[in-house]
Amino acid sequence: MNPKRIWANLAVADVERTKEFYLNLGFKLNGRPSNELVSFFFGEGDFIIHFFEKKRLKLSLEGEVADVSQGNEVMFSLSVESKEEFDQWIAEIKKSGGKISFDSNNDRKKFYDENGFYVCVFADPDGHKFNLLYNANT
């Protein structure tokens, strides 16, 4: 089998808050948001992440939605092209209500010296985790 597209569906508590967070980070909307869904394109390949209002996604899952405050459901990785862009992302994530849990700017030896990557682990307002990466060797 070879699917045409693959995308992610995640649960959020507040669709409007999620929309504002990702718009502030510069992501492009995929379609028109509703009270139950906002969707964005991520990266050059236009990977899509749908952010569904939690009760709505639960109906589709036919089961419980993960409690991301208790653990992780998935971690997406986003790469940037320069150290300046990396630092700009971190500033915008903080300004937009994201939570930084690790920033190699504050602990360079742990990551940068070993493999050339700057790494920032952050969560959106609903706790969905992301890696922000910049490879200084490219």
Encode pLDDT of 23-82 as tens digits. 999 999 999 999 999 999 999 999 999 999 999 999 888 888 888 888 888 899 999 999
Q: How far apart are CA 89 and CA 83, in angstroms?
A: 10
Domain-located, residue 41: yes
Q: How far apart are CA 8 and CA 19, in angstroms?
A: 16
What are the DSSP E strand ranges found in the chain? 7-12, 28-29, 37-42, 47-53, 75-79, 99-103, 117-123, 129-135
How many structural domains are present in the chain?
2
pTM for this predicted structure = 0.86
What domain range is 107 assigned to? 75-135
Domain-located, residue 40: yes
Q: Are 80 and 126 contained in the same domain?
A: yes
Q: Are 49 and 85 contained in the same domain?
A: no
Q: Are 106 and 128 contained in the same domain?
A: yes
Domain-located, residue 1: no
